[in-house]
Amino acid sequence: MAEKLFVISNSHLDPVWIWRRRAGRTAWINTMHSVVRTMARHPEMKFSCSSSAQYRWIEENEPGLFRAIARLIEEGRWEIVGGWEVQSDAIIARTEPLLRQGMVGKEYFRKKFGVDVKIGYCVDSFGHSAGLPKLLNANGIHAYVAYRPMEHLLKLPLLFDWKADDGSQVRFIRILDTYNLGNVDEAFYMDRIDQHMATELKYQTMFFGVGDHGGGIYEKHLEWLRKASGKYDIVFATLQEYLDAVQDQKLPTVTGELGNVFRGCYTACHEVKREVACGLDRLLAAEKLGVPAEKLQEPWKELLFNHFHDILPGTSIMEAYRQDVFPGLGSVIHQASTLTDQALCRRAAALDTSFMKEGGLLVRNTEGHRVQAFISVTGFADPNENGVPFNTLTDEAGNAIPLQILPPPTTFGPAVVPWGDLSAVVDLPPHGEKLLALEYQNTPDLPCTGVERQEKLLQKLSFQKFYDDHGTWGFTLTKYLHSDARAVLRKTEILTDGPVCSILRAFYTLNDSEIQADLLACKDLPEIRISLRILWKESHSCLKMAYDHSLTEFSFATGTAANSVVRFADYRKPALCVSGKTGLTFGVPAMSDEVPMTDWCAVFPEKGGAGTAFFARDVHGCDHGEGGLRLTLLRAIPYADHHPFPRNEQTGCMDLGNTFMELFLYEADGLSVETLPKLAQKCLTKAEVLEVTCHEADPAAFATVPPCPVVNELPHVVTEAMRRLDNGNWEVHLMNHGSQTLLPLPDGSTKELPAHALTILQIPAEKA
């Protein structure tokens, strides 16, 4: 029986969900006016509120309301919590956006209110990554409030310490029943208070207020609370006051991922997942090229806003995506790409390219590790009509590498001159760049790559359809069992086969749907790129790509923000069954639930040998079933279809029509949860390529930024970001997925990177 009830006033508001962004902003302003008025009438009230994006909207549009909130903050009655730009998705988001949520949000709150937010607050996110305590601690947050996963999904204490694998820890407050409550009667409300007081905690919280679309505080709820305080010790409090009251309590410790909640959200609306991934990759590339942080502030805020837990998971209405989300993400991609192009063009102008008689390429590795980069840029194959296409890239010293002309996006070129994708594999040192001239050399023909690897892959690859009536969130979804149809491989054709790479195209059909898979293999690279064009016409369905790996004793693991998760280990030690027809024995395939993934999923044998991984930026759902590793590509389900409410068929199903995606298959010995994150980064992060012409260095060229000097060749350590601050210093974010190690620094010293930890380095400008 609880001795005291701490009432935490709040008003949950989704700035985008089953309404558009303008409606969310208006509701936010209306709610805050209502709360300020209510607090003026009831001086005992306190209020806790998150999300810097929403405070910023008030500051920019309602200065009087903003000042009223600031006064309540100074009085200690209004508590800023969260410290994030929005209440983000926290289960499929990548490491860097979750870290930046705190960096951007906390900076705003410090600047505008002088408040250093210490309490994380993400009450409605659909699960929480196992590595999240690292990211919270990195931003100075040591407590975290959430509602999900609910009690029926995962048995958790109401108050516990949540610990990551590096020792990072936050005190976790799990909301007992709900963070907002609207249309109920007095008897229901009194019973709710009784339930809170009946918990095992000495001090218990009860979240008070209405939400989903804002609303503030109901006066009748205040009246019922006053009645209940005659029976119980009830006080209005901030979350910090509650944490102070329980700070000396010895609590249970919980480790690992807090999920899974609403598994359908891992895959719903592939389009938004693709655009978010593209925007993030473009921003990170711009930063690594030295674009100042100030120029990227606005696109970063827009990207973080669109990580909101009803945007990235695919649960908003179609109108919100079409009219708000996709235009916003398009602006992020446009701004970051423009600044990236500007940095590359300015660099090219400062270089002497006069050795290029027919033009060439500037190739830049933005990463702090050596890469073998497959590059491809659409251009003229024989611009001066010499009668032979380019076949070589040559540097200024005369070193040559093979060039192959791949089929272009169109079947014709400008002025009917030969046109194609100029492609090569270029070895680049850390932060390295190369100027490469396009040339034709009359050399002996080099052997072709061949398509044997792709043909072997096709023998193990399949596309499986499942009936999916779980709604957008997947409330009733645990796992996909047996497919009701499989795509039929109709034909294959070799698109190209040369000294650099080969492409085998496979055509599949399933009813009226089509799947085109272009399998590209480079002679010098271990991975196979799988480019998919899916014309999907199967409503109320899920499409999976399955790979039969033929392993018997293996682990199944996935990437997640700042962590890796082993979903099962040594699971498929064959259980013997007897077939009545043949008398043969066979292993029962391991089946997993639908699980989240970020960047990669993999199976690898327990006792050594080759494992298999898939790398992808915009695929976030997978499972293991029927002997195969299966990636969930599409869920063709209605927008915002929320069981048990009647379905709105007017907006149709998401992910019907053409969808494009790119994945990589990687097979090698020694795969592990320590090595896979770095391997995924190397596959998924592309070198930057710019066409350049023949010219001398421009003496009036803009000064270009030298690359960040930090080199990271450590196989377990991922460089998540390198950003150039406004004072010229570099900030480097490193995630160590292995044991404790030392990183060499530019000044000759070393930096200890603790096991499984996130480390943020500051590199002074004079040392850079």
Query: Does residue 699 register a pLDDT over 50?
Result: yes
Q: In what order do the strands lie in the sheet with 419-428?
A: 371-380, 419-428, 404-406
Q: What DSSP element (H or E) covers 8?
A: strand 4-9
Residue 581 confidence class, pLDDT cut points 50, 70, 90: very low
Residue at 505 is within a domain: yes
- For residues 547 and 244, the answer to whether their CB atoms sit within 8 Å is no
Percent of the chain at pLDDT exceeding 90: 88
pLDDT grade, residue 766 (50/70/90)?
Answer: low
Once rounded to an integer, what is the mean pLDDT over residues 517-535?
97
E strands, 323-428, in order: 360-364, 371-380, 392-394, 400-402, 404-406, 419-428
Burial (CB count within 10 angstroms: exposed 0-12, middle 13-18, buried 19+), residue 1:
exposed
Position 295 pLDDT exceeds 70: yes
Residues 6+ away with beta carbon under 8 Å from 457? 519, 528, 665
Examine residue 91 and state whether it is found in any structural domain, yes or no: yes
Ramachandran category for residue 767: left, alpha or beta (phi over 0 → left; psi -120 to 50 → alpha) = alpha
Higher pLDDT, 337 or 154: 337
Residues 601 and 730 both lie in one domain: no
**Range from 134-148, 702-716, 754-768 carrying the lowest mean pLDDT:** 754-768
Domain boundary among 204, 233, 261: 261
509 has pLDDT over 80? yes
Q: Which domain holds residue 719?
A: 708-768
The answer to whether residues 680 and 716 belong to one domain is no
What integer pLDDT is reported at residue 607 of this predicted model? Answer: 81
Q: What is the pLDDT of residue 266?
A: 98
Rounded to the nearest 10°, the torsion over CA 469, 176, 40, 32 is -30
Residue 577 has pLDDT above 60, yes or no: no
What is the tens place of the pLDDT at every residue in 152-176?
Answer: 889 999 999 999 999 999 999 999 9
Based on the domain organization, do 680 and 714 belong to the same domain? no
CATH number (domain holding residue 161): 3.20.110.10
- Domain assignment present for residue 649? The answer is yes
What's residue 361's pLDDT? 98
What is the rounded CA–CA span in Å between residue 719 and residue 296?
19
What is the pairing mode between strands 4-9 and 234-236?
parallel
Cβ contact 300:330 at 8 Å: no
Do 729 and 666 lie in one domain? The reply is no
Q: For the segment 35-62, what is each residue's pLDDT rounded down to a tens digit?
A: 999 999 999 999 999 999 999 999 999 9
Q: How confident is the model at residue 411 (pLDDT cuts 50, 70, 90)?
A: confident
Are 627 and 744 in the same domain?
Answer: no
Residues 143 and 68 reside in one and the same domain: yes
Q: Quick one: average pLDDT of 97-110?
A: 98
Same domain for 96 and 178: yes
Say whether both 673 and 722 belong to one domain.
Answer: no
Last residue of a domain, one of 261, 276, 310: 261
CA-CA-CA-CA torsion sign (268, 254, 2, 173): negative
Q: Are residues 466 and 597 in the same domain?
A: yes
Give domain status of residue 361, yes or no. Answer: no
Same domain (yes/no): 645, 726: no
Structure tokens at 477: 């979804």
The maximal CA–CA distance of the chain, rounded, in angstroms, is: 95
Q: Are residues 75 and 171 in the same domain?
A: yes
Backbone dihedral angles phi then psi of residue 340, each to the nearest 5 degrees:
-65, -45
Identify the pLDDT of residue 153. Answer: 87
Q: Which residues of 314-326 are buried (b: 16+ CB within 10 A; e: fewer)?
A: bbbbbebbeebbe
Which pLDDT score is estimated for 570? 65
DSSP designation for 703: P
More confidently predicted of 416 and 229: 229
- pLDDT interval class at 768 (50, 70, 90): very low
- Domain end position, chosen among 261, 296, 319: 261
pLDDT of residue 211: 81
Q: Is residue 364 part of a domain?
A: no
Within a domain: residue 374? no
pLDDT tens for 722-749 read 999 999 999 999 999 999 999 999 999 9
**CA 556 to CA 259: how far, in whole Å?**
17
Q: Do 11 and 104 belong together in one domain?
A: yes
Mean pLDDT of the chain: 94
Residue 58, in any domain of the structure: yes
Question: In 9-131, where does DSSP find H-type helix?
Answer: 21-41, 52-61, 63-75, 95-113
Task: Identify which has the larger pLDDT, 417 or 533.
Answer: 533
Sheet holding 541-548, edge to edge: 485-486, 461-467, 541-548, 628-636, 621-625, 595-596
256 within a domain of the structure (yes/no): yes
As a whole number of angstroms, the distance between CA 710 and CA 722 comes to 9
Helices vs strands, H then E, count in the chain: 14, 40
- pLDDT at position 416 is 81
pLDDT tens digits along 602-653: 999 988 889 999 999 999 999 998 889 999 999 999 999 998 898 888 888 9
Q: Name the one residue in this structure whose structure tokens are 């339930």.
A: 195
Task: With beta carbons less than 8 A apart as the criterion, state whether 202 and 2 touch.
Answer: yes
The pairs formed by 62-71 with CB atoms below 8 angstroms and a separation of 24 or more are 62/29, 65/29, 65/32, 65/33, 65/36, 68/36, 69/32, 69/36, 70/112, 70/113
Domain count, the chain: 3
Read off the CATH number of the domain in which 549 is found. 2.70.98.30
Cα–Cα distance between 696 and 691 in angstroms, integer? 15
User: Which residues fall within 8 angstroms of residue 211, CB to CB, at 6 or more apart?
Assistant: 10, 11, 12, 13, 179, 180, 182
Alpha helices in 564-700 (DSSP H): 676-684
Mean pLDDT of 583-606: 78
